[in-house]
A and B are shown apart, each in its own frame.
Chain A
Amino acid sequence: MQKQQLEGRQRFDVRMLFFFAATPIFLGLLAMHLLQLQWLEHEKLALQADNNRLNIVPVLPVRGEIVDRQGKGLAVNRIAYQVQLIPERVKDLDVTLKKLSGILQWSPDKLANIHKRIKRSRPDRPILLDDKLQWLQVSPIAARLHHMPGIDVEAGSYRQYPYAELTSHLVGYLSLARKSDTDEGFLANEFVGRTGVEKSYEKVLHGSLGYQQEEVDALGRRIAVNKRTPSTMGQQLRLALDAEVQQAAADALGDRTGAVVVMDVHSGEVITLLSQPGYDTNRFITGLESEQWQEWLNNIEKPLLNRATQAAYPPASTFKVITSLAGLHAGAHLARGHTTCPGYLELADRKLRCWKRTGHGRVTMQDALIRSCDVYFYELGDQMGMEEISDAALQWGLGEKTRIDLSPESRGVIPAHRPYMMAAMKNESSKRKKWFRGETMIASIGQGALTVTPLQMARMTAAVANGGKVLKPQLLAGVEPEVLHQASVEPRHLKTVQKAMRGVVEKPYGTAHRALANAAWKVAGKTGTAQVIQMSQDDEKEGYTPEQILRRHQDHAWFMGYAPYEDPKIAIAVFVEHGGHGGSDAAPVAAAVINVLAAQEQEQAADK
């Protein structure tokens, strides 16, 4: 018994040794595992801890502003404030919202909507209550922020267009990035230029993103900002555009649809590029309602269309300038001689009429341009043929894109564009259509298949004024002029045409005399009245009102010209859609614009 018990104690002592040893061994193994984590894997895990807590957040750059040549803001950044709320930090939600509602003057509907949104949202995430607020509106809240935990006022900037409707087509607008933009690297909360300068100069205006490193907690809440690489503001763009001149053009056009382009004849700077009607580009920034967008899309006045660059119209009599230059260049004998206008020209079994039924009598090129005699140009065109006319048109920059930094751009139509027409003229192949003599005659007075954009017209006029230099239209002020090509023209030929254009204004019987003889500058120019052929049945089908149909059948009015005559500075093209007559309807718009330009020059001279 004794022996057995002694064995028991000895056995116990041995087993105690086992326990004594097991404790440090077990915990030592654990320590080795921890050492592995804290020493060998420390770097990897420390990195993971940082990835856990550090967020790289982009800082949006401030977009470059767009100003006109005088420095007036066309697209500017306005500071706006937004009010946010984090529900879990608010003590008494009802009282707080009631207070805010009083300050920000929310409608009961809006308040109810906010209550609903808060109920649906996560309590730890900020909820946007109101935005695009001005400082005066939010300052009472900002002053009381410490009494209202969970409420936050944040400043941001948004785009504003002070001359929204006036410059809508030229300046363009922004909208929030879409899927295709984010694929190109834009952030989802960025605004991207959609049209006009905002689109063309996106890269310059955009600026570069900054980044900041933020520490976030497990719920993604921002705790602190650690590092900051500031964003770089986009470049400011000073446009060649003069808002004052553009406004004068718009006022002169009134509520008529049309386009006015004013271009510096030497530099190609676009001083005015107006298309009426415009639309309120600010609506895109505040979030355009789809009804408004649909309305703009379906409006028969087509406000979204840039009539100065995207639409081409028959140039009518203004094209006689090109026909004249072509005739002089081709050495057509009529260009130096004269013909008699009885009011019509007979061609086979057809009668091509002059706009003046009683006829102009004996006319030279001078007379024909000044009085806009059609018969003279029918004959002149017939003498030299379509090829010469097309060549001249291309030489002077029609039928090609002007390469202005606005897209899309229409190139207009010069029949030479169509190879089959040329082929038809040469009688090589007449698969499609035979080119008739009569078509050449109609083209000579700028009707028929010929179309040009108002911008092309202005540029062509500038080339006539500057000795044949076809310029790239420049949207930005103070950039190097770019001569795209030189029209081949003899100076004396050009002089002849210029003189005639001056006569249009100067001579009492000139078509633009009444409108422009008393303008502040001496103007040389040419009017045009384009016949409009519309199908009445189509009008009815499209559901126009009788008045609209009547208007849609009115002629288009053109005026193109440059001034001052002796020392040309600017070229202008005025197009009034269904506006009536060039001399009575388009030329006065040019007069208004030129008077403003002249007044500006006088002011500048006085300042010096």
Chain B
Amino acid sequence: MRLLRGVDWILLMLIICLAVLGMVTLYAAVHQGDVGLWQKQLTYWGIGFAAFMVICFVPLRLLGLISWPFYIVALLLLVLVPLVGDVQMGARRWLNLGFFNLQPSELMKWALMLILASWFATKEPRSLREIGTALLLAVVPAALIVNQPDLGTTLVLLFAATSMFIAAGLPWRWFGLAVIAAIGSLPVLWHFMHDYQKQRVLTLLDPQSDPLGAGYHVIQSTIAIGSGGLTGKGFLQGTQGRLHFLPEQHTDFIFAVLAEEGGFIAVMFLLLLYISLITRILMVSSRAHSRFASLICIGVASIFMLYITVNIGMVSGIFPVVGLPLPFISYGGSAMVTMLAALGLVMRVSIESKDRIPWQRPGSPLS
């Protein structure tokens, strides 16, 4: 019963709102093609919610215990990928396990989040040694993933790690140094980028330079968003989507369908839902009973933040085309399940923290 009392109903409400909006938008995107995808997505919601519920019952302490083994296994799998991995769409990202294709980089996102949370649970990154060790934990898998190549996941990894570093108390001057180093390394990164990645960046700078090639996606999605106007063309009335001018309209570019048919009103509604969701996660974080739990929530929030910003920025033409889905709206099973599982973690934090005093709050009896 303590379990039920600790449930964050607002968080649950937000998930349900996103589920409804996501399913409606997905219907608009697929209603002329494969409606079967819509039913599949409904199944994914079911599986994801089951994962969410299961995680709600897993004690955080247990997660702290398995964080090291989990991280090591994920790292080993990542090392295996370039040796025995499957190549799909020009990148070696998958391990064929016989019954399904595992993407170790996906595991690593969560493994890194757990390991950093447990690493910083007892210490703050204030000395070179502590920072260096934690940095190594993040940079090694990031280097392996960027080499696959998988720029999107690398970005997620680095962004989540940076957020957790900041939350854990990284001195601002170190942060400033890191930013300068990152900007300085851009030319080096450019040198190591694959041609298609370079093309995406160039396309972002001038989409019209290649209107039927790499620029096509961005031009068409920008047209879809802009033509939707303030109030939209109406449900199922978007011409860009209905007439198939929009590429990938049920996966990475689904935001354009929403913006075209629902207009700025729908866009604002979605953005407010996202802001509420992230703010809610941050609130759970600040009420959490342990530093480990707080940091987990920060990791989850930052991952969501990055997905949302990069996806919408990409679809509306201000970021390069990086294949990140729009949380809870884009079609896709594994993203749906992992994201709901992540929210399960947040819910678990909320449940465990119920009726307990946040960690090291001044005046708390434990401190």
Q: A23-B275, A23-B279, A223-B243 are in contact. Are A16 and B167 (CB under 8 A)?
A: yes
**How far is it, in angstroms, between the C-alpha of A44 and the C-alpha of B222 when the chains are bound?**
11
Q: Is A27 a contact partner of B308 (Cβ separation < 8 A)? A: yes
CB nearest neighbor in A for B225: A37
Given contacts A46-B229, A53-B243, contact A16 B305 (CB under 8 A): no
Q: Let me know if B10 is at the binding interface, CB within 8 A.
A: no
Shortest distance between the CB of A89 and any CB in chain B (Å): 15
Tell me whether A217 and B282 are in contact (CB under 8 A).
no
Q: Is B240 a contact of A24 with CB atoms below 8 Å?
A: no
CB atoms of A34 and B259 under 8 A apart: yes
Residues in A whose Cβ lies below 8 Å from that of B229: 38-39, 42, 46
Segment from B37-45, B92-100, B189-197, B260-268 that makes contact with A: B260-268
The answer to whether B264 and A39 touch across the interface, beta carbons within 8 angstroms, is yes
A-side contacts of B166, CB under 8 Å: 15, 18
Cross-chain contact A34 with B316 (CB below 8 angstroms) = yes
Q: Are A19 and B271 in contact (CB under 8 A)?
A: no
A41-B317 Cα distance, complex, nearest whole Å: 13
Known: A19-B282, A217-B244. A9 touches B227 (CB 8 A): no
Question: Within the complex, what minimum Cβ distance (angstroms) separates B159 from chain A?
Answer: 12
Does residue B313 face the partner (Cβ distance < 8 Å to A)?
Answer: yes
- Partner-contacting stretch, out of B323-331, B345-353, B359-367: B359-367
Interface class of chain A by DSSP: helix
Bitwise interface map of A from 13 to 49 toward B, beta carbon under 8 Å scored 1, else 0: 1011011101110110011011101110110111011
Min Cβ gap B57→A in Å is: 27
- Quick one: closest B residue to A16, CB to CB? B286
A41 CA / B312 CA spacing, docked (Å)? 17
Beta-carbon contact of A12 and B367 below 8 Å: no
For A42, the closest partner residue in chain B by CB is B229
A533 in the interface (beta carbon within 8 A): no
What is the distance, in angstroms, from A122's C-beta to the closest C-beta of chain B? 15
Q: Are A34 and B167 in contact (CB under 8 A)?
A: no
| B227 near A217: Cβ-Cβ < 8 Å | no
- CB-CB under 8 A from A9, the residues of chain B are 359-362, 367
Q: With the chains together, A217 CA to B32 CA distance in Å?
A: 12
Interface positions of B from 282 to 329, Cβ below 8 Å from A: 282, 285-286, 291, 294, 298, 301, 305, 308-309, 312-313, 316, 318
Interface hits, B221-239 → A, CB 8 Å: 222-230, 239
- B55 at interface by CB-CB < 8 Å: no
Contact across chains for A53 and B259 when beta carbons are under 8 A apart: no
**Is B343 an interface residue when CB atoms closer than 8 A count as contact?**
no
Do residues A33 and B316 form an inter-chain contact, with CB atoms below 8 A?
Answer: yes
A590 to B60, CA, bound (A): 117
- B69 within 8 A of partner (CB): no
Min Cβ gap B119→A in Å is 14
**Considering the chains assembled together, what is the distance between the CA atoms of A334 and B222 in angstroms?**
98
Is A11 engaged at the interface, CB distance under 8 Å to the other chain? Answer: yes
- Chain B positions within 8 Å of A218 at CB level: 243-245
- Give Cα A6–Cα B291 distance, bound, in whole angstroms: 13
Contact A27 B275 (CB under 8 A): yes
Partner of B240, one of A6, A11, A30, A49: A49
Which listed residue (B222, B359, B361, B362) contacts A37, Cβ 8 A?
B222
CB contacts between A and B, total, < 8 Å = 137
Q: Is B248 part of the contact surface with A, judged by Cβ < 8 Å?
A: no
Query: Which chain B residues border A24 with CB–CB below 8 Å?
Result: 275, 279
How far is B297's CA from A409's CA once the two chains are assembled, in angstroms? 95
Residues of chain B lying within 8 A (CB to CB) of residue A2: 367
Contact (Cβ within 8 A) B225 A38: yes
Instruction: Report yes or no: A6 in contact with B223, Cβ–Cβ below 8 A.
Output: no
**Is B264's CB under 8 angstroms from A23's CB?**
no
Q: Which residues of B contact A53 (CB under 8 A)?
A: 239-240, 243, 245
Interchain nearest-CB distance for A368 vs B (Å): 85
Provide the bound-state CA to CA distance between A22 and B222, in Å: 25
Q: Which residues of B contact A33 (CB under 8 A)?
A: 313, 316, 318
Query: Does A41 lie within 8 Å of B245, measured CB to CB?
Result: no
Q: Determine whether the beta carbon of A42 is less than 8 Å from that of B244.
A: no
Per the bound structure, the CA–CA distance linking A35 and B124 in Å amounts to: 41
In the complex, the answer to whether A35 meets B227 with C-beta atoms within 8 Å is: no
Cα–Cα, bound, A50→B240 (Å): 9
Chain B residues with CB under 8 Å of A30's CB are: 271, 309, 312-313, 316
Q: Which of B135-170 contact A (CB under 8 A)?
A: 163, 166-169
**What is the bound-complex CA distance between A390 and B268, given in angstroms?**
94
B278 CB-CB contact with A under 8 Å: yes
Q: Which of B223, B263, B285 has the most CB of A within 10 A?
A: B223
A194-244, CB < 8 A from B: 215-219, 223
- Nearest chain-B residue to A29 (Cβ)? B309
Q: A5-B360, A6-B360, A38-B225 are in contact. Are A15 and B263 (CB under 8 A)?
A: no
Partner of B264, one of A35, A44, A217: A35
Q: Report yes or no: A16 in contact with B362, Cβ–Cβ below 8 A.
A: no
Beta-carbon contact of B264 and A216 below 8 Å: no
Known contacts A9-B360, A23-B305; A42 and B227 CB within 8 A of each other? yes
Q: Is the CB of A46 within 8 A of B360?
A: no
Residues on B with C-beta less than 8 A from A44 are 226
In the bound complex, residues from chain A placing their C-beta under 8 Å from that of B359 are 9
Say whether B70 faces chain A, with CB atoms less than 8 Å apart. no
With contacts A19-B301, A42-B229 taken as known, whether A217 is within 8 angstroms of B243 at the C-beta atoms is yes
The CA-CA distance from A16 to B291 in the complex, in Å, is 12
CA–CA, A215 and B245, complex, Å: 12
Interface string of A587-603 (1 = CB under 8 A from B): 00000000000000000
Q: Are the CB atoms of B367 and A34 closer together than 8 Å? A: no
Is there a chain B Cβ closer than 8 Å to A52's Cβ? Answer: yes
CB-CB under 8 A from A38, the residues of chain B are: 225-226, 228-230, 259, 263-264, 267
Partner of B316, one of A22, A37, A48: A37
Residues of B within 8 A of A156 (CB): none
Residue of A nearest to B318 (CB): A33
Q: Is B68 positioned at the interface, with any CB of A under 8 Å from its CB?
A: no
Residue in B closest to A48 when the chains form the complex, CB atoms: B223
Take A20-B282, A37-B222 as given contacts and tell me if A216 and B360 are in contact as well, using a CB distance cutoff of 8 Å.
Answer: no
Contacts of A215 in B (CB 8 A): 239, 243
Q: Are A45 and B226 in contact (CB under 8 A)?
A: yes
Q: How far does the alpha carbon of A32 sit from the alpha carbon of B365 in the complex, in Å?
A: 46
B315 and chain A: residue at smallest CB distance? A34
Contacts of B259 in A (CB 8 A): 34, 38
Q: What chain A residues lie within 8 Å of B308 (beta carbons)?
A: 27
List CB contacts (< 8 Å) of A42-65 with chain B: 42, 44-46, 48-50, 52-53
Query: Cα distance A26–B274 when bound, in Å?
Result: 11
What are 21 inter-chain pairs, A to B, with CB distance below 8 A? A2-B367, A8-B169, A10-B362, A15-B169, A16-B285, A22-B305, A23-B282, A27-B271, A30-B316, A33-B318, A34-B316, A35-B264, A39-B264, A45-B223, A45-B226, A49-B223, A49-B245, A53-B243, A216-B243, A217-B244, A219-B244
Which 3 pairs show the lowest CB-CB distances between chains A and B? A45-B226, A49-B227, A217-B243
Other contacts beyond A16-B286, A23-B301: 4, CB < 8 A? A6-B367, A8-B124, A30-B312, A45-B226
